[in-house]
Amino acid sequence: MKSRQLLTLVATLAVAGSVHAFAGEIKVIANTSVKTDTISVREIERVFLEQNSSLRDGTHVEPVIEKDGSVHEAFLRQYLGRTNDDLQSYYRALVFTGRGSMPRELGSDAEVVAYVSKNRGAIGYVSAATNSAGAKTLAIVNGAVGSERRLLTRVEPEYPETLKRLNIGGIVRLQVTIAAKGNVEKVELLGGNPILGESAIAAVKQWIYGPNHAQTTAEVSIPFEPSR
């Protein structure tokens, strides 16, 4: 009986929210040589605008972008605050002044996954629904400037078997309150499938961050990929 009720709840959630969870969402993927498991919104901006060539853990990265399409437009809008024309003009200026180069442009999510999987330090973006086997997905931390905390201990969430079997996934967005000492004090669900959210919250409560002079908050995005 309980199993039937769970399946009914899952089906309802799939209709009401699962499609929305995939629509327009982006995940950042990196070659497995990249050490970190997280990346901040500020780091995404600085890496893809070629202002930094490494992440905060010292790992050298090479950004790759998509030529066009809805995923590319969503990424630019959400993380760079630019149109494609603006970005191309920006890159051309970098090349002209000798301060940078044109990043590699690829034609699809599949091409991005293939390139990132094979090239050391490569980092790119794809739709949240894309099978990114061979690359690692970085959890996106959206903290205020100056409040970024280094993640020391990361516990992966358990993927509920029923949802995985039904191919239900997506990105769960959480607001995390981190104590000065580095332990997680509070986790709130901001968006995503609520059942996946429960699993993500249970895992994130066990995370440990580096110490800071005061309590901070951060927004964390955790992908659940049924194909992996």
Alpha-carbon gap, residue 26 to 42, rounded angstroms = 16
- pLDDT, position 143: 56
Predicted confidence (pLDDT) at residue 1 exceeds the cutoff of 50: no
Count CB neighbours of 180 within 10 A.
13
- Residue 12 structure tokens: 């309802």
Span 87-142, pLDDT tens digits: 999 999 999 998 889 999 999 999 999 999 999 999 999 998 899 999 999 988 87
Span 29-69, pLDDT tens digits: 999 999 888 888 889 999 999 999 988 778 899 999 999 99
Domains in the chain with CATH codes: 2-224 (3.40.190.10)
Q: Could you tell me the CA-to-CA distances from 138 to 88, 92, 131 in Å, in that order?
A: 25, 28, 14
pTM over 0.85: no
Q: Could you tell me the CA-to-CA distances from 187 to 24, 122, 198, 224 in Å, in that order?
A: 24, 31, 10, 18
